[in-house]
Structure 1
Amino acid sequence: MPIEGIFVSGFVNLLFGKMTSFASSKLPTFEGIDTQLTNWTNMLSQIEAFLIDAEEKQLTDRAVNLWLDDLEDLAYDLDDLVDEFATEALQHKLKAKPPQASSSKVWNLIPHFKPRDVMFNFKMKSKIEEINTRLHNSFQQCSKLNLVKISVGTTSLETRPTRESASLPKGPIYGREKDQRKIVELLLGRDESSRNHPELCLSGLQNVVVPLDSREANLNDKEGLDVLSMEWSVNSDDSRDGTVKTEVLDMLQPHKNLTELHIKGYLGTGFPTWIGDPLFSNMAYVSLENCENCASLPPLGQLASLKKLYIKRMSVLKHVGREFYGQGGAKPFQLLETLSFKDMPEWEYWYTFEDDKEVQPFTHVSELSIENCPNLVGMLPSDLPCLNNLEIRDSPKLCGVMPKDLHYLNNLEISECPQFLVESSSNSLLSLTSIAMDDVPLTSLEAVLEMRSMVDEEVISANAKSKHPSSITSLSIGMIKKLELLPKWVTHGLMEVEELKIRRCEKLKTLWKNEARVQQSFPAFRRLNIEDCPQLVSLFEENEDEENEGQHQQQQQEGLSCKVRLEHLTIYNCEKLEKLPRLLHTFTFLQELYVSVCPSLCSFPETGFPCTLKTLHISYCEALQSLFGWITQINDNNLEVLCVQDCPSLTCLISCRGGGLPPTLKELWIRQCKKLEALLVEEGMEINCPSLESVWIWCCDRLKYLPDALPNNNNLRNLSRLYFYGCKNLEYIPEGWLHSATNLRELNIMGCKKLKALPHGLQSINYLTSLEELEMDISQWNNNFKKIGLHSLSSLKKLLISGEEEEEEHPVGSSFPIDGKLLPTSLIYLRIHFFRNLEKLSSKLFQNLASLECLRIGDCPRLKSLPVQRLPPSLNQLWISICPRLTGKCEKGKGKYWPHLAHIPDVNIN
């Protein structure tokens, strides 16, 4: 096969793997990316079906060869784009360190209104649209090139990136014929070039119905094969003879040099004898997944080099017995380091040689994970001397006790195991640094800490004075039903805790009684997350009397440490929370504060927030009326991001005592605050924000005006994005906001019916030289932009205009452009929506749009004419929706306009 075809076939498979891996990861994602990944995967699957025919024709058909070249470029660009999303997601994970539990609501909610996330989505939007356009274009070209779709689903072969080796070829393996026997011969082993391929993935094995076909794969002769993956489709016919499936798997026995084996979707009733054969002396990694008819496990304990073992979703398995260990003598699984059982609905019993102390099966296991095994009862292995990570989740019947002598245990996570008991006995957890316990008895949590020697009064006192206190740095507790207050053995015994997470503790009222002791209790405190605690009233019990305030001031004067080193605070869904700590302003390390779904919180402390705060997000706080006094010294403030969302009682952001918006502010977000009338409480107050880059204000019905800005050249000089949407009573934008709008790149004004005039900076073309994107409704066109003339906006690339707010005072003619003038020659994207009276697009519309690539027209019920002969050749996407008088004329192959549209790669008529 020519090298172009080899590359495209292999690289498309790699993209499938990368997109699937990212979509299934626990990394935080961004708005719409899951849908995009699904769409890209589906589109690539359709294109892949044409590759076999394209690979045959490329030597004799120049157009096909060029198509493959373009597809290769597209694959690289899509790969880069997926990498960008993965990198951004990883940066968020590293920065935010969200809770590990996938059921957490706060970490699912916050990304939807973080300005940085939305900005990232916005920046990537054009790249996503470009990829979508090119994918549609590539798919449309398949039919124009007369390529034939040849499905390889009968038995397909995928490849993973080959390992570096001078003696091993790196080209992917491929197949093409429909005949099952021929597929097996070509894909699995007749040619010498595939003999030493190090990694091999066989899929579609449910279609191999003759066991001898699989024998012809001759995998046993492939000495260079390191990794073998075999997959049966989960949608395959379960009624077929399970014996046939077992024989197929038996015939696919690989060479004894194999180091990794992965089996997925196998529906035989048992495993062949070669799986677990001790002659596979190099086998280090085994995974068995979706082997739903197997009632027992193979003797994997006999594999002397096995280090990683993952067993998942074996639906009928009830017992893990002696057969699992094989004839391994006194030390089966002698090198096993990682053992994981997941999604085993019927598993009830695990034999662990408790009656035979001479056999020690898991002496090297460092990671043990048991997840979603609802019927498992009994004991865990008691002898795990090297265990470093223990994770037990969603196994409600598991009522055993902790293994003993876990001297090296570093991370402990027990979740939704209400009967699992932890007994201190003679156990000790001297290396424990991270604890996560949800829905376990409070006595079990206390026992863990007792094993860590942190409950005894003398030890607590010693820890408080010691320069080398407890090593635990992370504590996460949840669903502890009787917990009303953090016990003393938590607040005084965990001197090195940096991260504390508390969730779904329904009786918790406060964390500890005296805020002055926070520093003494948690001197290393960095992150605090509190989630779903409906009875929480305050973080600390506070004394409001003057005597206590005087004592605090005296402590400060005497130089006593009253500072809390907390850097990140998140409070989510705490219905009765009424206030934040009165001394919050003394938390001079705090940089990020997130408060969401706290309907009883009506105000913030009058003493304000600390000057170190950089990010403040407030959302769904129904009683909050203002951020009163939240800045005490405006010039010392470092706030960069302010986001306020869905606070229906909020009337202003900042009172006169606060002084105004901080000069360090870069992003201002306000959304769905229905009673907000002003940003600053008093008219005439001015702002000076030279760092401000982006302003988004959405659906604030009562907002009438913005504060004046200081009239100097430095004020708001960096403003590049300005969005107003659904602010029905906004009347004007002060001149100082856009005294010099030369950096403005994106402007969106929609649904602001009373905004009659824009500042001079937006009425003069001299101030809009950088404007690239403009979205507006017809009222803004008539009030403002009609005077400017859009043709003068020399940098404009994207124009979106809507007639949704059409009323009698804003009549719209039957033709577009409305003023008959030309649009900017720089335009790439044009969208026209919701024009009820529009009947035709003027023939002059496209006269100078030589760069237009995307045209979208929607909800224009009277539109009946389209100047198809004037459409620019650069156009590669045309979408028309809900234009009933135009739809028939654009119908593929039949409509009057179709001959003029057929060359456009992406035509979508709905």
Structure 2
Amino acid sequence: MAGEALLGAAFGMLIDRLASPKLINFFRGRKHDERLLKKLKLKLLGLNKVLNDAENKQINDRAVKEWLDELKGAVYDAEDLVDEIATEALRCKVEAEYQSGPNQVQSLISSFTKLFDNEIESKLERMIEILEGFTEEKDVLGLKEVAGRNWSQTRLEDGKPHNIAEKVRHFSYVQHIVHGFEDFKGIREAMCLRTFLPLNHRGIGEKWLSKKVVDEILPRLTRLRLLSLGSCMIKELPHSIGDMIHLRFLDLSFSLFRELPKSVCTLYNLETFLLVGCYHLTTLPADLVKLISLRHFDLSGTNLKEMPMNISRLKDLRELTVFVVGKFAGINELGELNCLQGSISISELQNVKSSNDALEAKMSEKKHLDKLALEWYGTTEDSQNARDVLEKLEPHTNLKHLEIKNYGGTRFPTWLGDQSFCNMASLRLENCNNCFSLPPLGQLPSLKELTIASMPGIMNVGHEFYGDSGCLSKPFQSLETLRFENCFFLPPLGQMPSLKDLTIESMPGITSLGREFYGEGGSLSKPFQSLETLRFAEMSGWVDWCILDAGEFSQLKKLELIQCPKLIGHLPTKLPSLVGLKIQDCAELVASLPNTTSLRRLELYGCQGMQLQWQGVSSIEYLSISDFASLEEFPSELVTLTNLKSLIVGNCPRLYVPLSDEMSHRNMFLEWLDLYGCDSLKSIPLGLFPKLRSLQITGCTNFETLILEGCKNMSSLSVQRCEKLKALPEQMHTLLPSLTGIYLGGESEDVLESFPEEGLLPSTLTDLGIKGMRNLKSLNGRGLQPLGSLERMEIHNCPQLQSFSVEGLPTSLLELEIRGCPLLKPRCRRKEGEDWPKISHIPLILVDGEPISE
């Protein structure tokens, strides 16, 4: 049983800690009676021997069960007491290193020590007395030593608070969008709690935790070992966080605070500290270096300007994801952190004034680092210094991932591209403006991903890029993903044997891709034989693409041509494996669609010269067409696309007959239909799409009639900025029995003043969005109250909306977001606004992006 194992483990760890020389020496050094530690240890050993017998007898003997339950609490209390002693020992060790501090600080430390000394022996004597009582009771109960093999657990269900006994040690809950104070009242008295752990619910992004929980409940849980508040959108941590002296694990990821309270620096037992995604965090407390137990410190996604001085004191750090070089914390401090592993990003390298400082970082000795990012900021004033610094930052050859950004040297270091980096799997070189040549990357045997971006100083690439010509293996033998961006060169790429994904973007100097693009041998060597994804984007000068049609691209599954305005000619025709094709803003391209039965997804935007031949692409499931000014009706050939599930048509101003006569007599099995910017469109008979689940109509200024008969499967409806549509169809609640989400909005002044009409909306709705109704003055409570399933409601940009109705909003609502409603905003002020009583039951209320709920 898990509980038995846990209690047995607690006994074992506690007995081991009592025998620790560090603990005994500390106790002896403070002139305490160390015999108390021995007595406590002996009492625990005696009780531990009868644990298994008690576990067996508790099933049928109620008295034994009660004794065992009480013993669990006592053992955990003893563990807390021993942890308190160990924490004091840690505190004294840390403070001893700061003896040069002011007299006032020394006085404070001294008074704290005296308080501890005065209390600790009496606490130990009391604990020994308690355990002695258990020893006497075990004899009365007849418990004996038995060789062989504890933990309370209470469950909160359905969001209903329960009274949790003080003996409960571990608490977890499934996260939802919002958790209010009432959800946690049940643990208010569980002051012996050791674990506070939310369980992430799939599909939920931001979560909100009531400020009242953070301020009033968490400070009571001072015995916590694990506290996880990640993604709870916390704006401020209470100073009382420093009272949780037993904490080993603290997760504050994705919080909104700008600084940490200084009291966090007294968590001397803390081993894992997660601040991932705390973007507003710019500084760390100076005394954070006192957390000498820290092993894992994740600062990814923060906006730190500098590290605390003397961070090298944290010698046991295994993980430090971010290091910002500054005036006070130089890069040489990394030299003392010998145990680093995982990934680290070192930024602000322009602050390294000497290559000797870089050498002192001892990067080549950190053999457990997998990923290293090196980044400079601003314009490089001393190119030679930057070059020398990078040369001295040579990592260990075990490194797998490397990024170099904004490097200002003229050459890359000699170690980059060396074959000794046989584990290097990914490399990114970005914005290295002064470099005029590339390192020999082709000879890295394990390199799978390579990105070269914004390198204006390199005008052409020679054989040095591919590496030593005398090497027996082919260059780039393992490379699978390659990206060139914003460069003036493009080397031959077709002969990379493993290349699967190629992106070429923002290459202003490229006007033609000829045979040299395919590499040595041209059509004879069947280039790009492994390529699956090919993407060209923002190629402003590209005109000509030489197509060999000699077996190249035989494995290509996805082809994208985006913003290539001058490209003319043809597309590759022999693409037997093509699944997705996207062509966007290629105005001069006059070409036919590839004739392939494998195509599933087709997107055509702003390329009216394309010759659409639907017969050859009958397998399409997703079709998106935009900016075809001449399109007046859907091609009748669309009925042949029997697999088509999603259709998106936008910015086709002449489209007025959505269905031809032939199409109107045949059902299509669309599930998603999205129409936008089709100004001539007036209506569409949706009954021809019996499988339709989602309909979006946006910015169709002449759209007048919404015919919903035959749409019983529709779950989502969005109609926005359709000024001619005066009202929704009556009896929507019967026409759309599966509808769960409806989103309405418009920019015209001539729209509804009250919404919704009574009986208009189906009771199945869970989501309701009202946006841009500039003349809307009131919400009809009688139309909203029957929506017993409504959970989320958005009201955006309704400047005339004055108040909520007397009936208020449905009690089922979990989330209300109000934005751009200046008349309504003051009425919703928490506890003060006139409409607050009508909405106070809603757990999460956001007004202009700020939470106002409790």
| Class of the TM-score when normalised by the shorter of the 2 chains | 0.5 to 0.7
Letter in 2 for 1:534: S
The change in CA–CA distance for 1:612 and 1:148 in structure 2 (over 3 A counts) is closer
Change (3 A) 1:301 1:378: closer
User: Matches of 1:205 and 1:862 in 2, distance apart?
Assistant: 39
1:507 equivalent to 2:509? Answer yes
Q: Distance in 1 between matches of 2:788 and 2:665?
A: 43
Q: 1:285 to 1:318 in 2, by over 3 A?
A: same
Task: Name the amino acid aligned to 1:392.
Answer: I
**In 1, Cα distance between the equivalents of 2:275 and 2:773?**
56
What is the CA–CA distance in structure 2 between the aligned matches of 1:7 and 1:266, rounded to whole Å? 42
Among 557, 560, 565, the alignment partner of 1:567 is: 557
Is residue 480 of structure 2 the alignment partner of residue 473 of structure 1? yes
Tell whether the 8 Å contact from 2:803 to 2:835 is kept in structure 1 after alignment.
no
Q: Is the 8 A contact 1:441 1:480 kept in 2?
A: yes
The answer for the alignment partner of 1:640 in structure 2 is: 621
- Deviation of 1:719 (Å): 2.1
Aligned pairs (5 A) from 1:712-731? 716-729=689-702
CA contact (8 A) 1:376 1:398 kept: no
1:700 is displaced (CA, Å) by 0.8
1:271 corresponds to which residue? Answer: 310
CA distance in 1, matches of 2:723, 2:261: 63
Q: Does 1:187 align with 2:241?
A: no
Superposition pairs of residues 422-821 of structure 1, within 5 angstroms: 428-438=443-453, 439=455, 441=458, 443-444=460-461, 446-451=463-468, 470-483=477-490, 487=492, 490-491=493-494, 493-513=495-515, 517=523, 520-540=526-546, 564-581=554-571, 583-584=572-573, 586-601=574-589, 603-605=590-592, 608-619=594-605, 621=606, 624-625=607-608, 627-633=610-616, 637-645=618-626, 647=627, 649-651=629-631, 662-677=641-656, 684=662, 690-703=668-681, 716-729=689-702, 740-749=710-719, 777=725, 779-781=726-728, 785-786=729-730, 788=731, 790=733, 797=740
After superposition, the Cα gap between the structure-2 partners of 1:51 and 1:571, relative to the gap in structure 1 and judged at 3 Å, is: same
Contact 2:359 2:393 in 1 (8 A): no
| Residue equivalent to 2:328 | 294
Aligned length: 659
Q: Is the 8 A contact 1:888 1:895 kept in 2?
A: yes
Structure 2 unpaired stretches of 5+? 1-76, 78-162, 230-235, 849-854
- 2:806: which partner in 1? 868
Task: Give 2:463's aligned amino acid.
Answer: E
Which among 412, 415, 418 is matched to residue 430 of structure 2? 415
Counterpart CA distance in 2 for 1:59 and 1:531 is 58
Is 1:312 equivalent to 2:358 in the alignment? no
Measure, in 1, the Cα distance between the counterparts of 2:418 and 2:653: 59
- 2:365 is paired with a residue whose SS is coil
Residue 365 (structure 2) pairs with residue 333 (structure 1):
yes
Q: Which of residues 405, 408, 420 is equivalent to 1:393?
A: 405
CA distance in 2, matches of 1:577, 1:7: 69
* Alpha-carbon contact 1:829-1:854 (below 8 Å) kept: yes
Deviations 1:635-671 (A, max 9, x none): xx211111123x2535258767x56551111100112
Q: Distance in 1 between matches of 2:737 and 2:438?
A: 74
CA contact (8 A) 2:756 2:784 kept: no
Deviation string 1:328-370 (CA, Å, 9 cap, x unpaired) is 9xx971735446353444999999xxxxxxxxxxxxxxxxxxx
How far the C-alpha of 1:527 sits from its partner, in A, is 1.4
Residue type of the alignment partner of 1:702: S
- Give identity over the alignment, percent: 19
In the superposition, the TM-score normalised over structure 1's length comes to 0.57
CA deviations on 1:235-286 (whole Å, 9 max, x unpaired) are 5699xxxxxx4xx4665544xxx7556799696885277456xxx6xx6545
Q: Deviations over 1:71-123 (max 9, x none)?
A: x99x54xx2145x66xxxxxxxxxxxxxxxxxxxxxxxxxxxxxxxxxxxxxx
Q: What amino acid maps onto 1:501 in structure 2?
A: T
Deviations 1:697-720 (A, max 9, x none): 1111134676x99x9xxx744222
CA distance in 2, matches of 1:791, 1:525: 51
Letter in 1 for 2:623: L
Superposition pairs for residues 72-91 of structure 1, below 5 Å?
76=199, 79-81=200-202
Per the normalisation by structure 2, the TM-score is 0.60
2:463 paired with 1:406: no
**Match of 2:530, as an amino acid?**
A
CA contact (8 A) 2:439 2:464 kept: yes
CA distance in 2, matches of 1:526, 1:206: 47
| Inter-partner Cα distance in structure 1 for 2:709 and 2:735 | 20
Distance (whole Å) between structure 2 residues aligned to residue 249 and residue 266 of structure 1? 15
Residue pairs, 1:56-135, within 5 angstroms: 58=189, 76=199, 79-81=200-202
Q: CA RMSD in A?
A: 6.0
CA contact under 8 A between 1:688 and 1:716: conserved in structure 2? no
Give the drift of 1:535.
1.5
CA distance in structure 2 between the partners assigned to 1:890 and 1:229 by the alignment: 35
**Does the CA contact (< 8 Å) of 1:319 and 1:349 recur in 2?**
no
Alignment of 1:327-406 (within 5 A): 333=365, 335-338=367-370, 340-345=372-377, 379=391, 389-403=401-415, 405-406=418-419
Gaps of 5+ in 1: 16-36, 61-67, 86-127, 163-174, 239-244, 352-372, 543-551, 553-559, 755-776
| Alpha-carbon distance change, 249 to 889 in structure 1, aligned in 2, over 3 angstroms | closer
Please tell me whether the aligned partners of residues 815 and 842 of structure 1 are also in contact (alpha carbons under 8 angstroms): yes
Distance between the aligned counterparts of 1:666 and 1:802, measured in 2?
Answer: 26
* 1-structure distance, mates of 2:797, 2:329: 58
> CA distance change for structure 1 residues 724 and 600 in 2, over 3 Å: closer, same or farther?
same
Q: CA contact under 8 A between 2:436 and 2:459: conserved in structure 1?
A: no
Does the 8 Å contact 1:348/1:375 carry over to 2?
A: no
Residue identity matched to 1:504: S
Report the alpha carbon displacement of residue 743 of structure 1 after superposing the two structures with TM: 2.5
Secondary structure of 1:628's aligned partner: coil
